Amino acid sequence: MRNYETILTSVDDGIALIQLNRPRVLNAINRPMVTELLDAFERFDRNDEVKAIVLTGNSRAFAAGADIDEMKNDDSVSLELLNQFKEWDRLATIKKPIIGAVNGYCFGGGFELALCADILFAAENAQFGFPEIKLGVMPGAGGTVKLTKLMGQKKALEWLWLGDPMTAKEALEYGVINRVIAPELVLEEAKKYAKLVASRAPLSVRLIKESVYKSVDYSTYEGMQFERKNFYLLFSSQDQKEGMKAFIEKRPAEFKGK
Amino acid sequence: MFETISYETRGKTAWITLNRPDKLNAFTPLMHKEMVTAIKEANKDSGVRAVVLIGAGRAFCSGQDLSGSTDTDYGEVLRKGYNPIVQALVSMEKPVIAAVNGVAAGAGMSLALACDFRIASEKASFIEAFIHVGLVPDSGNLYFLPRLVGHAKAMELAVLGEKITAQQAKEFGLVTKTVSEEEFMLEVETFAEKLANMPTKAIGLIKRYMNKSWESDLNEVLEYEAQAQKIAGESEDHQEGLAAFLDKRKPAFTGK
């Protein structure tokens, strides 16, 4: 594995793990961390050994926010020229499944990073929120967009305007996360889920992810056209032949991702 | 360190004493803050494996100090003052014992209800005092009371607001045991020490998921149990329990 300064990475049995590693600042996300995260995600996305990626923090915090010191002297022009969110845009192009495991605080930029995961598991004591408004700003890496698409306009405004934390239970009720789990077991359950996804036909996993995200932005008609193309595309794969043959022969399929 | 309470650890037990005896340990805004600080301290201290809440002097706690109260937005008083205490008590994954040495009235009774165990002195009493000043039980009282004594009894106690003697409290299932005044302190100490030497991690998990059971259906609880058992099964105390069983000796649990 590469030596990163702000994250830890490893691969075990097809599952890549990316762990945010700035524990002294509750994993506050700074620019070097985003650069390293993107590098790690893109490497794992290209690595044939990796079937799914698990993203986590530590027991106290997934990430308590963005590094405020780093941006307190920025102005509009410096931010435009820096174009830091380009890296966040590229995080959205990762094709393999990303499973997020959240313990403790998940605020601001940390929450936005968690929302980059396709599936989110959270500890019973996890807390989510966008406190940016308390600093006189607002989310800048997709917070208002993704939260709104997940929970709806009215609920999103309620949370974004006050900037107060929501509990894991609330996040579950609003469809922001998938499961609430004992804090001790979140990472383990996330890895278990990652393994299950990894056992499914890889090309199907990939094209389903693409179609689901397109459907969020497209009209129903366009979304269905897009889905159809991906459906047809899978009929060029060996796994489709194997999957249907195995079904007829009443045996488990052996998928190769080809 | 504290003005309205005292905090002390004796062995593996933390003692939080409400310490305004001349005011029957009535709550003030400062006491709210100090209670939360003390509960969090007990929670953080890994050497603490049981917590006792007790009152100094002749009362356990007489509830809100009405003499000093100028704030008429009781909703905010609860949200800022009382509710954090209840939440801190419930989320602490260690056993908490209310040692009810005397009267527990109003929010003082609520405080006792939010604990995991109640041991009452024979001269203790409980009063749902709220109704006598035209108020409703608060600080978790409406949540805990019907769960402890059943809906019908809880309605009776909350609406009529009659004094409940220690003996009645025992009959209603409100307290674990009632002890004579002379034996009270020794009994509390013994009970706390017993709990403090048990598998704390497992007790914490029991507390966590028994609380959640009230808001969950059977399938959810079955899943909580599976998760809790997995966690407990990986604890040192489970290994110690198994080893002691095989060696036919008493287990020495460390809480880990």
DSSP A157-168: HHHHHH---EEH
Q: Which residue of B has its CA nearest to A186?
A: B227
Query: B30-40: per-residue pLDDT in tens?
Result: 999 999 999 99
Q: Which residue of B has its CA nearest to A125?
A: B91
Alpha helices in chain B (DSSP H): 29-44, 74-77, 83-91, 107-113, 141-149, 151-160, 166-172, 184-196, 200-213, 218-233, 236-247
B230 touches chain A (CB under 8 A): yes
Q: How far is B45 from chain A (nearest CA, A)?
A: 16
H or E element that contains B103 = strand B103-105
Q: How far apart are CA A178 and CA B10, in angstroms?
A: 44
Domain with CATH 1.10.12 in chain B: 200-247
Helix (H, G, I), strand (E, B) or coil at B217: coil
Query: A39-70: per-residue pLDDT in tens?
Result: 999 999 999 999 999 999 999 999 999 888 88
Query: B211-256: per-residue pLDDT in tens?
Result: 999 989 999 999 999 999 999 999 999 999 999 999 999 999 999 9
Contact criterion met (CB below 8 Å) for A190 and A101: yes
Pick the residue with more confidence: A71 or B137? Answer: B137
What's phi and psi for B127, nearest 5 deg? Answer: -140, 125
pLDDT band at A216 (very low <50, low <70, confident <90, very high): very high
pLDDT band at A2 (very low <50, low <70, confident <90, very high): confident
Q: Do residue B231 and residue A181 have CB atoms under 8 angstroms apart?
A: no
Active site residue A109: yes
pLDDT over 70 (residue A126): yes
pLDDT over 70 (residue B117): yes
pLDDT over 80 (residue B208): yes
pLDDT band at B68 (very low <50, low <70, confident <90, very high): low
Mutate to test the interface with A, among B43, B87, B91, B230 (most CBs of A within 10 A): B230
pLDDT over 80 (residue A161): yes
What pLDDT sits at residue A68?
87
Q: Do residue B231 and residue A185 have CB atoms under 8 angstroms apart?
A: yes
pLDDT over 70 (residue A167): yes
What's phi and psi for B115, nearest 5 deg? Answer: -80, 170
Catalytic residue among A100, A109, A129, A142: A109
pLDDT over 70 (residue A136): yes
Q: How far apart are CA B134 and CA B120, in angstroms?
A: 27
Contact criterion met (CB below 8 Å) for A215 and A78: no
pLDDT over 90 (residue B71): no
Catalytic residue among A112, A142, A143, A201: A112
Average pLDDT over residues B39-43: 97
B88 touches chain A (CB under 8 A): no
Identify which of B91, B208, B230 has the shortest CB distance to residue A185.
B230
Predicted ipTM beyond 0.85: no
What pLDDT sits at residue A202?
96
B92 touches chain A (CB under 8 A): no
Burial class from Cβ neighbours inside 10 Å (0-12, 13-18, 19+) for residue B184 reads: buried
Mean pLDDT, chain A, rounded, equals 96
Average pLDDT over residues A130-154: 96
What pLDDT sits at residue B167?
96
Active site residue A152: no
Q: Which residue of A has its CA nearest to B228?
A: A182
Closest CA to A56 of A124, A3, A4, A10: A10
Tell me: domain A7-199, CATH 3.30.2010.10, correct?
A: no
Closest CA to B188 of B62, B63, B53, B91: B53
- Domain topology for B200-247: Lyase 2-enoyl-coa Hydratase; Chain  A, domain 2 (1.10.12)
Average pLDDT over residues A6-19: 97
Q: How far apart are CA A184 and CA B228, in angstroms?
A: 9
H or E element that contains A10 = strand A7-12
B203 touches chain A (CB under 8 A): no
In chain A, what residues touch B208 (CB-CB under 8 Å)?
124, 182
Contact criterion met (CB below 8 Å) for A34 and A180: no
pLDDT over 90 (residue B65): no
Residues 81-140 in A contacting B (C-alpha not used; CB under 8 Å)? 124-125
- Domain topology for A202-248: Lyase 2-enoyl-coa Hydratase; Chain  A, domain 2 (1.10.12)
What pLDDT sits at residue A229?
97
Edge to edge, the sheet with strand A166-167 lists A61-63, A105-107, A127-129, A166-167
Domain with CATH 3.90.226.10 in chain B: 5-196
Q: How far is B227 from chain A (nearest CA, A)?
A: 7
pLDDT over 70 (residue B69): no
Instruction: State both tokens at A38.
Output: 């993107």
Catalytic residue among A61, A63, A66, A122: A66
Active site residue A112: yes
Size of interface A-B (CB pairs under 8 A): 12
What pLDDT sits at residue A231?
98
pLDDT over 90 (residue A1): no
pLDDT band at B175 (very low <50, low <70, confident <90, very high): very high
pLDDT band at B164 (very low <50, low <70, confident <90, very high): very high
Q: Do residue A181 and residue B227 have CB atoms under 8 angstroms apart?
A: yes
Name the residue ranges covered by the structural domains of chain A: 7-199, 202-248
Q: Which CATH architecture fits B5-196?
A: Alpha-Beta Complex (3.90)
Alpha helices in chain A (DSSP H): 31-46, 68-71, 76-82, 85-91, 109-114, 143-151, 153-162, 168-173, 186-199, 202-217, 220-234, 238-248
How many Cβ atoms sit within 10 Å of the Cβ of residue A241? 12
A74 touches chain B (CB under 8 A): no
Residues 231-250 in B contacting A (C-alpha not used; CB under 8 Å)? 231
Instruction: State both tokens at B101.
Output: 């040495």
Q: Do residue B230 and residue A181 have CB atoms under 8 angstroms apart?
A: no
What pLDDT sits at residue A179?
97
